[in-house]
Amino acid sequence: MSKAPLQCEIDIQVPFFDVDLMEIVWHGHYIKYFEMARCALLDKIDYGYMNMRDSGYVWPIIELHIRYAKPAHFEQWLTVQAVLKEWENRLKINYVIRDKASGERLSRGFTTQVAVDMQTDEMCYESPAILWQKLGLNKP
């Protein structure tokens, strides 16, 4: 039924507008970096946000967690990894942000999303069949 976890990595160079006076990335921008990696991950299975909408579902984030270990700095190259960990009843994606040069972990976290039927505006207690199809799996 399951296969190797779906994952994706992207590289980002920290832009000037993401840093404070100390040239350190403001903590809220890590969420944006997670989002960029999540979009790349979902595009990998052809189920990005527009395809989600077109399939009749929206997937709001209902939970977000970030653990900061070390700060990222202006012009630093980062590698952001997104790994799909759960999909049966919700989308849970784990993230790790590392310094691209050294591989040192700077932060980690996760997001949780649930499917909401756009017709009824009701939360789905199981992920819809379209997600399973996009993942190349048969829904039990």
What would you report as the CA-atom Rg of the chain, rounded to the nearest whole angstrom?
16
The pTM (predicted TM-score) of the whole model is: 0.93
Do 75 and 13 meet the contact criterion of CB atoms below 8 Å apart? yes
Do 37 and 31 meet the contact criterion of CB atoms below 8 Å apart? no
Domain that holds residue 128: 7-134
Q: How many structural domains compose the chain? A: 1
CATH number at residue 121: 3.10.129.10
Opening angle at CA 68, ends 62 and 73, nearest 5: 115
> What is the rounded average pLDDT of the residues 93-112?
98
Domain membership of residue 2 (yes or no) is no
> Which pLDDT score, from 0 to 100, does residue 138 have?
84
SS3 31: helix
Domain membership of residue 120 (yes or no) is yes
Domain membership of residue 140 (yes or no) is no
Domain membership of residue 56 (yes or no) is yes
Using one digit for the tens of pLDDT, what is the confidence trace for 29-42? 999 999 999 999 99
Domain membership of residue 139 (yes or no) is no
Residue 38 to residue 50: CA distance in whole angstroms: 14
28 Cβ contact partners less than 8 Å away, ≥ 6 residues apart: none
Diameter over CA atoms, the chain = 53
Domain membership of residue 32 (yes or no) is yes
Domain membership of residue 111 (yes or no) is yes
